[in-house]
A and B are shown apart, each in its own frame.
Chain A
Amino acid sequence: MEFHSVGVWNSVLTFSIAFKNLYKHQPNMKIMVAVKRVIDYAVKIRVKPDKTGVESQNVKMSMNPFCEIALEEALRIKEGGMASEVVAVSMGPAHCVDTLRTGLAMGADRAIHVDATGPLYPLSVAKLFKALVELEKPALLILGKQAIDDDCNQTGQMVAGLLGWPQGTFASKVVLDKEKQLATVDREVDGGLETLCMDLPAVITTDLRLNQPRYATLPNIMKAKSKVIKKYTPQELNVEIKSDLEVLQVTEPPKRKAGVIVSSVDELIDKLKNEAHVI
């Protein structure tokens, strides 16, 4: 605990100064971004033979693609002069630090790692984020719309609910008005787009089309090594990790029967009409 006591005091000081300005004029707007370490999207996953989960040993891990988009958006907001600091946060085992380094190399100013082992469901992650938000007082929390491993699509909405903040989910465009402390968010909904306007602080979750994330350059990867990653445990944040869900089994999806290759359009129509009876 004592190794970052100075850091804690610093953050208490900055926090009390920032707190006074938070909801009116805000020259030093901070953005917090959630990043999750997941199995790389291009990996063809394998289910473990004992059906307890999927094989994650010796498998390439990366930052969840939606989190990259979230971080990119935060960096663009900062580069547009609308924010002063971007803090990347990751939760889970020690290896999450690698993902945070990637985030720092992309341009995040500093990072926070919440060191937690065992299954972390979105509700627990949301509670940890709420605790961090209360500590760090960001004006904007940006997350990806879903993680490509559990495909839950819950964490952002849950944090917003716990904080009582507005939520702009599945965002494909975000425009901030610093003067009025408003965010205008275009959301991807069934059948098209919807535009919402919300007060800051707010939670935003990113859809694919929000932006194209940048690559970390070599000099920035070097620079990222000296940036600060602060570590917390759930206990330090006073969050009890409940495990509400019990995994009974993980299985392979049913295999489709091998199909046939036909050589002409007539044959294709024949198969669909007379064998499959679908046209």
Chain B
Amino acid sequence: MALPLRSALLRQTATCLRQHGQTAISRTSQNAALQRLLSTLAVLEQREGKLNMSSLASISAAQKLGGSIHGFVAGGNVKAVAEEAAKVEGLEKVIFVDNSAYDKGLPENWAPLLVENIKKGGYTHVLAGHSAFGKNLMPRVAALLDVQQISDITAIEGEDTFVRPIYAGNAILTVQSEDNVKLITVRGTAFPSGAAEGGSASTEEGADPKVDSPTEWVSEDLAVSDRPDLGTAEKVVSGGRGLKSKEDFDRVMTPLADALGAAIGASRAAVDSGFADNSLQVGQTGKNVAPQLYLCAGISGAIQHLAGMKDSKVIAAINKDADAPIFQVADVGLVGDLFEKVPELTEKLKSS
């Protein structure tokens, strides 16, 4: 931990030098920079009293930064979640705010809540997952703090230097931020969450500004599934337009997913045609996945789709068009009719 911290401080010093030139001011800010220690607030998600494990990626990202890490949870009867989070390795403290007004993650009251606790704790970094919750909330917090947020980072190169994909993952941007608080959302698949056990953080009640929300939560309609969560699954099978209909999609892809114990994903074309639920979309505008195995059938491989899956360890593709772009990224490709090949694959996987 000592090394990254040291290089971070050196980097910060370099930033100060560049900003102010070689003047007396630069020396004082240099000292200030050296004295200032890193401290990160990791915003954790919870749902009905259960900690969302995929939000722990922000803790492992924070560990790459060095410095102390505090977790943050809020919601009704959240004490138990705070204690669960206290066991996560790497956390020094868990700040919790017990108020059911925060249960639905509305940014209108969450943003002032975070601003208050960020100011109170004097954090240098605030990290959250690049999930629907994090994406919705963090830019609002950033605006209130007058800082430019950094979205969906995939690597940390120093205290103020971060790497993120742009143009649907077709270019990789390294940026340096001079903001005094760095607000960041973290790509979950780039920072695998660490151990949920073994830590022994203290818990502490945070500040609650109790701002009313002009937005009222009405209802939700979430897909219930026993399958592994698409964003964190080890294996993903994914279907595209080639599946032809919802019935075919379910008939062909579901048994394959069952045979592999995989999550099911889909291309935008499949989702738009109603073959699969919106929440299963993999791609630039859907979910980013990076499983050990991404097995897709009937997907041509448009750049927007590749953006969401090309960090998978092994990509296997079945497509009847030998010229489909998917074969340019696939480790193993099989040219053939998916209605024949996928059931055959499913049978052989089951019997082996």
A156 to B279, CA, bound (A): 21
Point out the residues of chain B lying under 8 angstroms from A252, CB to CB.
171-172
Q: Are A269 and B345 in contact (CB under 8 A)?
A: yes
Interface code A170-192, partner B: CB below 8 Å = 1, 0 otherwise?
A: 10100000000000100111111
Q: Is A260 an interface residue (CB 8 A)?
A: yes
Rounded to whole Å, the gap between the CB of A243 and the closest CB of chain B is 8
Point out the residues of chain A lying under 8 angstroms from B69, CB to CB.
none
Q: Are A169 and B135 in contact (CB under 8 A)?
A: yes
- Name A271's closest neighbour in chain B (CB-CB): B332
A123 to B177, CA, bound (A): 13
Among A44, A145, A259, A267, residue most surrounded by chain B Cβ atoms (within 10 Å): A259
A272 to B104, CA, bound (A): 42
Q: Is A244 an interface residue (CB 8 A)?
A: yes
- Residue from A192, A196, A260 within 8 A of B221 (CB atoms): A192
A189 to B133, CA, bound (A): 8
Q: Is B268 an interface residue (CB 8 A)?
A: yes
Point out the residues of chain B lying under 8 angstroms from A149, CB to CB.
166-167
Rounded to whole Å, the gap between the CB of A196 and the closest CB of chain B is 5
| Given the contacts A209-B272, A253-B165, A192 and B223 also touching, CB distance less than 8 Å | yes
Rounded to whole Å, the gap between the CB of A40 and the closest CB of chain B is 11
Within 8 A of A (CB), among B53-74: none
Interface code B100-124, partner A: CB below 8 Å = 1, 0 otherwise?
A: 0000101110010000000000000
Q: Are B279 and A151 in contact (CB under 8 A)?
A: no
What is the total of A-B residue contacts with beta carbons within 8 Å?
259
Rounded to whole Å, the gap between the CB of A176 and the closest CB of chain B is 15
- Residue from B167, B218, B334 within 8 A of A39 (CB atoms): B167
Q: Are B334 and A268 in contact (CB under 8 A)?
A: yes
Within 8 A of B (CB), among A235-267: 242, 244-253, 256-257, 259-267
Q: Are B293 and A276 in contact (CB under 8 A)?
A: yes
Q: Are A265 and B344 in contact (CB under 8 A)?
A: yes
Q: Is A153 an interface residue (CB 8 A)?
A: yes
Rounded to whole Å, the gap between the CB of A59 and the closest CB of chain B is 11
- Name B144's closest neighbour in chain A (CB-CB): A161
Q: Are B170 and A189 in contact (CB under 8 A)?
A: no
Q: Is A221 an interface residue (CB 8 A)?
A: no
- Name B176's closest neighbour in chain A (CB-CB): A246
Q: Are B132 and A260 in contact (CB under 8 A)?
A: no
- Residue from A122, A151, A159, A191 within 8 A of B152 (CB atoms): A151
Q: Is A160 an interface residue (CB 8 A)?
A: yes
- Name A261's closest neighbour in chain B (CB-CB): B333
Q: Is B146 an interface residue (CB 8 A)?
A: yes
Point out the residues of chain A lying under 8 angstroms from B132, CB to CB.
170, 187-190
- Residue from B106, B152, B277, B330 within 8 A of A259 (CB atoms): B330
Point out the residues of chain B lying under 8 angstroms from A245, CB to CB.
148, 150, 175-178
Q: Are B217 and A272 in contact (CB under 8 A)?
A: no
| Given the contacts A154-B151, A245-B175, A269-B345, A198 and B215 also touching, CB distance less than 8 Å | yes
| Given the contacts A247-B173, A247-B175, A126 and B143 also touching, CB distance less than 8 Å | yes
Q: Are A260 and B333 in contact (CB under 8 A)?
A: yes
Point out the residues of chain A lying under 8 angstroms from B149, CB to CB.
122-123, 152, 154, 158
Point out the residues of chain B lying under 8 angstroms from A126, CB to CB.
143
Within 8 A of A (CB), among B314-337: 314-316, 318, 322, 327, 329-335
Q: Are A248 and B176 in contact (CB under 8 A)?
A: yes
A11 to B146, CA, bound (A): 29
A195 to B104, CA, bound (A): 11
Point out the residues of chain A lying under 8 angstroms from B271, CB to CB.
209
A122 to B292, CA, bound (A): 34
The interface of chain A, by Cβ under 8 A from chain B, is 39, 41, 44-45, 47, 54, 121-123, 126, 145-146, 148-162, 165-170, 172, 184, 187-199, 207-209, 242, 244-253, 256-257, 259-269, 271-273, 276, 278-279
Can you sample 21 A-B contacts with CB below 8 Å?
A44-B303, A54-B166, A122-B149, A123-B142, A149-B167, A154-B149, A157-B135, A157-B136, A157-B140, A161-B143, A167-B108, A168-B215, A184-B218, A190-B287, A192-B220, A192-B277, A196-B218, A198-B214, A268-B334, A272-B332, A278-B314
